[in-house]
């Protein structure tokens, strides 16, 4: 069995997550994210610990972790690269971007041997107005091109700081997993929060002095 890094501190943090919910079972998903941040995968040890803390079976924990694609069965790399493969991104160049990145990294839906990258096709990220989109550790890289994708991988490989189009500076997939477990990194206000395309309607309304009709009290 693979080595686990889950220690007393992790168990304490898993309990903190549980304490946020009226029912311990409701904490399952953020608890799984914390396990991934510590072990880089939904480890067997993580499943055992969660099952015991929550008071459910290991099979029930596995049932949740295998249903959602964000939970990995094999250890993830330092950076998770998700290329949107849903229709709009795909026809706008997403499929070609995936093929290019896959060829460069030598993996197809998997993790590179050096543990630097995990490459996956991902479904629509609700960022279709910026197609084609690549997610790095679930941060948006909008309006991607082959050249931008090459530079992105060059920078990540070299450890140079990478700022997503919207969101905070990219650190690592594990850091993001900790954030998804609900441990705030203090960077919510860093970077751009909404892109130009999303704000176009607001700008037009402003120029024309339009406003939403007021609802009538009933």
Q: Which residues bind ligand FES (CB under 6 A)?
A: 84, 86, 88-89, 124-125, 127-128, 131, 133
Nearer to ligand FES, 72 or 133 (CB): 133
Nearer to ligand FES, 88 or 116 (CB): 88
Q: Name the helix (H) or strand (E) containing 217.
A: none
Q: For residue 3, which phi and psi values (nearest 5 degrees)? A: -60, 140
Nearer to ligand FES, 1 or 194 (CB): 194
Nearer to ligand FES, 84 or 105 (CB): 84
Q: How far is the CB of 165 from ligand FES (least distance, A)?
A: 12
Token pair recorded at residue 102 = 């896959």
- Specify the DSSP class assigned to residue 182: T
Residues β-bridged to residue 119: 81, 110
Q: How far is the CB of 131 from ligand FES (least distance, A)?
A: 5
Q: How far is the CB of 178 from ligand FES (least distance, A)?
A: 25
Q: How far is the CB of 108 from ligand FES (least distance, A)?
A: 19
DSSP H helical ranges for the chain: 8-18, 28-39, 44-54, 58-65, 87-89, 95-105, 146-158, 173-180, 196-207
């Amino acid at each position: 069995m693979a080595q686990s890094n889950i220690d007393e501190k992790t168990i304490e943090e898993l309990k903190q997550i549980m304490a946020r919910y009226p029912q311990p079972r409701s904490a399952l998903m953020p608890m799984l994210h914390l396990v991934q941040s510590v072990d880089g995968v939904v480890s067997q040890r993580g499943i055992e610990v969660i099952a015991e803390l929550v008071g459910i079976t290991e099979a029930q924990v596995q049932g949740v972790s295998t249903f959602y694609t964000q939970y990995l069965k094999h250890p993830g790399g330092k950076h998770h690269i998700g290329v949107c493969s849903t229709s709009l991104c795909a026809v706008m160049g997403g499929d070609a971007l995936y093929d290019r990145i896959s060829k460069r990294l030598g993996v197809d839906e998997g993790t590179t041997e050096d543990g630097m990258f995990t490459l996956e096709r991902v479904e629509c990220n609700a960022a279709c107005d910026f197609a084609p989109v690549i997610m790095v550790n679930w941060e948006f890289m909008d309006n991607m091109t082959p050249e931008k994708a090459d530079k992105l991988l060059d920078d990540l490989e070299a450890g140079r700081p990478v700022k997503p189009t919207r969101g905070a500076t990219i650190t690592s997939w594990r850091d993001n997993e900790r954030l998804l477990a609900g441990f705030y990194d203090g960077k919510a206000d860093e970077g751009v929060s909404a892109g130009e395309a999303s704000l176009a309607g607001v700008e037009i309304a402003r120029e024309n002095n339009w406003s939403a009709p007021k609802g009538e009290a009933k």
